[in-house]
Amino acid sequence: MKRFLTLILSILCLATTAMAADRAHTLKIYNWADYIDESVLDEFKVWYKEQTGEEVEIIYQLFDINEIMLAKIEKGKEDFDVVCPSEYIIERMLRNNMLLPIEIDFGQTPNYLQNISPYIIERFNKIDGYGKNANDYAVGYMWGTTGMLYNTKYVTEEEASTWNTLHNEKFEKKIFIKDAFRDVYSAILIHLRQNDLAEGKTTLEELMYDSSDESIAEVEKFLKKAKKLVAGWEADFGKEMMTKEKAYINLSWSGDAVWAIEEAAAVGVSLDYRVPKEGSNVWFDGWVIPKYAVNTKAARYFINFMCRPDIAIRNMDEIGYVSVIATPEVLESRVNSELESTVDASYFFGEGAESVKIDPVQYPDKSVIERCGMMHDSGARTPKMLEMWARVKGDDVPLWNLLVIVISFTALLILGIRRKIKKVHKKSHRAPRKKKRK
């Protein structure tokens, strides 16, 4: 047995060494868990050979928290070729000169980046690139909103359409809130600044940069009032509590809401999702090429490949989130004639999509999008916001310290595992990704 194990380990070591020696023909991808139809990875290898005549192997690794991903890349010890951070992390990476520009010359291969919705391009133009245009360094992947997932038997549409419902004692211990301080803070701040927005004293864009002591204190006061009604602060299990009717309201991401609504319907539970009338935030994830990347050619071809309409549709069907691709094929794949109402999705798909029967959870009406802001990196103010979040939840240790501990421990754990064996490809058939936007 010992000889057999020694032989296996020797083979693995040789394989790892050979792979390292051929790093120029290996594509290292770092993505959120459960955030892709993994069958497209093997398909990309075939497509890449057809387009370039070159072989490529894939190392596909997963992360669950933006900051863990960022910490690994900042140290320069990981040479990932393509990574999928959120908008505020893209800002941070641009500020710290951690990204390479994405070349869009693909020779005879079509440029599928042209399929990206103009709405997404416009939003990425608003990413604070510190003198750099984010569209030169990042390509959108998925996007969505933050809102209220609710049980229609116990919660009315009117109740689900305002953040004030988080203070409604009728729902005591039937509310779950995402353990994601940035998403919650931004949405509640928009709610608290309704008068200022209406009177033109501020704009959504300005508000999304506001991390002042005054605003942090106001959001904290609102959340502490809601705290006695909250059954839990969750990152993963809220949607499952909703499908089991152990909760009636979940401050949720739209992609998780899509999953929960479908799962609940299968067991006779009616769930729905609303972006409150006061407004909320709209978030974006995109592909980038870190400055330590080795195979930048395969990286940009992979990003291009992910923008193919058929690939975008497959990924959407697999994970429940919404692609940035806005071609007629994508729109046609989303149309559902059985829906009673229509959505004005012209902001995303362009002319001809002013009244289409598509899922309003995935594609909110234009009127909804107009009251949603895009989050930004809070920079040096981040510890202040994290301390507020810790006080709201009642954590004994400041959340910032906990985050540092978790990141450090995870990095050490991963380093130890990688010394034994490098994971080449992980196949997963779990539910849609459990995203932690911290």
Residue position matching structure tokens 């990204």: 99
Q: C-alpha angle 133/255/431, rounded to 5°?
A: 120
Please state, in angstroms and rounded to a whole number, the distance separating the CA atoms of residues 217 and 385: 10
Band of residue 297 on the pLDDT scale cut at 50, 70, 90: very high
The answer on pLDDT for 419 being more than 70 is no
pLDDT for 29-58, tens place per residue? 999 998 999 999 999 999 999 999 999 999
Greater pLDDT, 395 or 366: 366
Q: Residues 152-188: pLDDT tens digits?
A: 999 999 999 999 999 999 999 999 999 999 999 999 9
Two tokens at 152? 């229609």
Query: Could you report the per-residue pLDDT of 237-283, keeping only the tens digit for each?
Result: 999 999 999 999 999 999 999 999 999 999 999 999 999 999 999 99
- In this predicted structure, the answer to whether residue 212 has a pLDDT above a threshold of 80 is yes
* pLDDT over 70 (residue 407): no
DSSP codes of every residue in 264-333: HHHTT--EEEE--TT-EEEEEEEEEEETT-S-HHHHHHHHHHHTSHHHHHHHHHHHS-EESB--HHHHHH
pLDDT value of residue 22: 87
Report the number of distinct structural domains present in the chain: 1
18 pLDDT more than 60: no
Average per-residue pLDDT in the chain?
A: 88
- pLDDT at position 403: 52
Average pLDDT over residues 295-301: 98
Encoded tokens for 405 = 């501990």
Helix, strand or coil, per DSSP, at residue 168: coil
CA 402 – CA 393 distance, rounded (Å): 13
State how far the Cα of 208 lies from the Cα of 387, in Å rounded to an integer: 19
Q: Sorting pLDDT into bands at 50, 70 and 90, what band is 77? A: confident
**Residue 17 predicted with pLDDT over 80:** no
The parent domain of residue 206 ranges over 1-438
Q: Are 73 and 98 spatial neighbours (Cβ–Cβ below 8 Å)?
A: yes
Residue 231: what are its φ and ψ, rounded to 5°? Answer: -80, -25
pLDDT at 75: 85
Instruction: Report pLDDT for 344.
Output: 98
- How far from 401 is each of 14, 26, 63, 212, 216, CA to CA, in Å? 40, 36, 20, 21, 19
Helix (H, G, I), strand (E, B) or coil at 41: helix
Q: Quick check: 396 pLDDT over 90? A: no
Do 145 and 282 form a contact (C-beta atoms < 8 A)? yes
Residue 46 has, within 13 A of its CA and on its CB side, a CA count of 5
Q: Is the pLDDT of residue 206 over 70?
A: yes
Q: How far apart are CA 299 and CA 309, in angstroms?
A: 18
What is the CATH classification number for the domain harbouring 353?
3.40.190.10
Selected residue with higher pLDDT from 362 and 434: 362
CB 67 within 8 A of CB 378: no
